[in-house]
Amino acid sequence: MLLLDQEETCKQIINNNDCFVVMATGAGKSLMYQLPAVALRDIGIKAISIVISPLISLMNDQVAALRAMGISAGMIGSTSSVEDYERARNGEFCVLYMSPEKLFGWKSNIQHLASTCYIVMIAIGE
């Protein structure tokens, strides 16, 4: 088993290598699923990371923090608007957070995303 740090994990992800990472809360997992999609978009690849999380407040905080840095981020959850759904389906977000219950109803939209974007990863959050 390899123990990878954040930098090495991001490199592995960008190089299209599978990673299974387990880290404690607060250890910096968020960077590992945000940075690869941002880096790929910076070089012209329409990339997206999808993050599945049951914690609505955490998703809201992450989206707000990313947007404050000028990174396109969105969320699909119980409070999402029709515009949020459409923008997500069109691959406008670099990082897309989604609640688990929305994932199952989004199968066709994820298939659409896969045909129009490079899905860097699907991360499962706490």
At 71-91, the pLDDT tens digits run: 999 999 888 899 999 999 999
Give Dmax over CA atoms of the chain in angstroms.
43
User: Which residue did the predictor score with more confidence, 96 or 79?
Assistant: 96
pLDDT tens figures, 14-43: 888 888 887 887 788 888 889 999 999 999
Token pair listed for 30: 């968020």
* H or E, element range at 76: strand 73-76
Our CA angle for 33, 84, 37, nearest 5°, is 20
The fourth-level CATH superfamily of domain 6-124 is P-loop containing nucleotide triphosphate hydrolases (3.40.50.300)
Q: Which residues contact 74 (CB under 8 A, 6 or more apart)?
A: 63, 84, 87, 88, 92, 93, 95, 96, 97
Q: Where are the domains of the chain?
A: 6-124
Single pTM value for the model: 0.87
Helices and strands, counts by H and E, the chain: 6, 4
Report the alpha-carbon distance of residue 88 to residue 20 in Å, rounded: 25
